Amino acid sequence: MTDFDLGPEVIARVREASDVVSVISDQVRLKRRGRTWEGLCPFHEEKTPSFTIDAEKGLYHCFGCHAGGDVFNFVMAQQNFNFPEAVEYLARRFGVDLPARSPGAQKRRRDEERQRSILEEAQRWFVDQLSSAGGAEAARELERRGFPKSSWASFGFGWAPDEWRGLVESLRARHPEGVLANAGLIVQPESGKSPYDRFRKRLMFPIRSGDGRLVAFGGRILGGGEPKSPNSQA
């Protein structure tokens, strides 16, 4: 957990201050080619440069291995940092003062961390369901679509069974139902009836932010039903 309040405005300020060419040149010998910079990709072996940097946009891309992103992505990959560590590293390097966390920010971060933990729990449950006998139909559909079982882990595929309260019952002993609803995992009817799973009879896949954090789920229904592909983000 970081000691600083890394809200969107702070992150934008650090990104603007960070010289992506300077950061990458610590690892890569660069040559200028018009408005871009080129060099040998640090993410795979090559003899002909396919790695380019657009300094104006603050982005890099390799046309060989397709690695790419902004200065935060590069620092995370090269230094094995998580996202907050990358922000703090760049802030120190380029002289950006980071605000200390306020009590409100601390609560917000705790809530966000709790929600991410719940989403990761749900992800493990969806993955387990895909591997169970009840996930056989979803498994066949994935293979029919060209996704062999060996690839499922890399995509994070899972299965939400055709049950009303499977996920609710799995998580409610550890997490209040209101928290599960805020995370977009269950629906609380206004009528006061028992909450039920948002996703049912769906192929599931995690939606992650640029720094790898699980922020929501997408689900593709098998057979009839609407909507076809909802997600759990508010």
The pLDDT value given to residue 233:
60
- pLDDT of 92 above 50: yes
* pLDDT reported for residue 224: 61
Confidence at residue 229, expressed as pLDDT on a 0 to 100 scale: 56
pLDDT tens digits for range 147-181: 999 999 999 999 999 999 999 999 988 999 889 99
β-partners of residue 202 are 160, 221
DSSP letters for 201-228: SEEEEEEE-TTS-EEEEEEEESSS-S-S
Per-residue pLDDT reduced to its tens digit, 26-64 = 999 999 999 999 999 999 999 999 999 999 999 999 999
Mean pLDDT over each residue of the chain, to the nearest integer: 89
H helices, E strands: number in the chain: 9, 10
Q: What is the pLDDT of residue 1?
A: 60
The pLDDT score that the predictor gives to residue 29 is 95
**Two structure tokens written together for 40:** 């040998």
Task: Pick the more confident residue, 218 or 101.
Answer: 218
Q: Where are the beta strands (DSSP E) in 30-138?
A: 31-33, 36-39, 51-54, 59-62, 68-70
Provide the pLDDT for residue 231: 63
pLDDT band at 234 (very low <50, low <70, confident <90, very high): very low
CATH architecture of the domain 111-221 equals Alpha-Beta Complex (3.90)
Both tokens of residue 89?
A: 């590293």
Residue-range domain boundaries for the chain: 8-93, 111-221
Q: What's the rounded Cα separation, in Å, for the pair 135 and 177?
A: 25
Please tell me the distance from the alpha carbon of residue 218 to that of residue 114, in angstroms, as a whole number: 20
Please give the pLDDT value at position 124: 96
| Full-model pTM | 0.59
Tell me if domain 8-93 and domain 111-221 are identical in fold. Answer: no
> How large is the average pLDDT for residues 127-142?
94
pLDDT greater than 70 at residue 232: no
- CATH number (2.40.30.10, 3.10.20.30, 3.90.580.10, 3.40.109.10) of 8-93 reads 3.90.580.10
Angle of helix 71-79 versus helix 83-93 axis, rounded to 10: 110
Q: What pLDDT shows up at residue 227?
A: 53
